[in-house]
Amino acid sequence: MNRQRTIWGAQLAIVALCALALKQYYSTATANELRWILAPTTLIVELLSGRSFEFESYTGYMSSDHTFVIAVPCAGVNFLITAFVMLALRRLWKERFVGVSWRFLPISMGVAYVATVIANAMRIVIALEIQRRAVEVSWLNANQLHRLEGIVVYFGFLMLLFVLMERRLLIFPVVIYYVMTLGVPILNGSFHRTGFWEHFAFVMVIPLVVMLPVLIVRLVRQDYRMFQDLHVNPEKIL
């Protein structure tokens, strides 16, 4: 049992170290160093949008009309870290009493990478459509609209990824999302930056709005199951 706990603790520590190392790497990485995630993302964007992009060194993938660039901020590495941490912690917690094979680490990272590329590509495709259609929202400026779209897409995909892996404990990805997108920046002092608290408000509220339909559906389904159960077994009313 002690050996199992030691291994579990080591696995938890390695998950944290992997997340921190990737975060540190991303903080200084250039577009050239991020082609491993920018290239497949751009490929999907080209397939879905019908637009073409060319890589420009240290800039990113520039659209043929030079109106949009898929650059370092578009890499989605923060989502990759969040998805990896969520999947890894879910596995460690779920099997904490039986032991977890070390294979869960590369598997979690691989699944998180695929999910990131797809989510990131969808976010960029939607952003291209917003740009093409010149979509405007009277109570949001361009930066706020872009932030809103990014949070909805990333959090939505994070929830979808978790639901595919685990149909219960929907609060778990919400906590992970808040910790990674708000807790970590607060700890490293980012709250001093201009616009942080506006971003904080967006990140706090929008996931709850996204979650609302999911929670309503779950409550309706639970009530329906309870009604069916009582209809089949009326003695349970007593």
Residue 80, in any domain of the structure: yes
Residue 7, in any domain of the structure: yes
Q: How confident is the model at residue 65 (pLDDT cuts 50, 70, 90)?
A: very high
The per-residue pLDDT for range 127-159, each reduced to its tens digit, is 999 988 888 777 788 888 888 898 889 988 888
CA torsion sign for 20, 161, 171, 150 is positive
What confidence score (pLDDT) does residue 15 get? Answer: 96
Q: What is the pTM of this model?
A: 0.74
The per-residue pLDDT for range 207-237, each reduced to its tens digit, is 877 777 766 666 666 655 655 665 556 555 4
In percent, how much of the chain has pLDDT > 90?
Answer: 45
Residue 25, in any domain of the structure: yes
Q: How confident is the model at residue 176 (pLDDT cuts 50, 70, 90)?
A: confident
Strand partners, 63: 53
Q: Number of structural domains, the chain?
A: 1
Residue 50, in any domain of the structure: yes
Pairing mode, strands 69-70 and 60-63: antiparallel
Residue type at position 68: F
Residue 237, in any domain of the structure: no
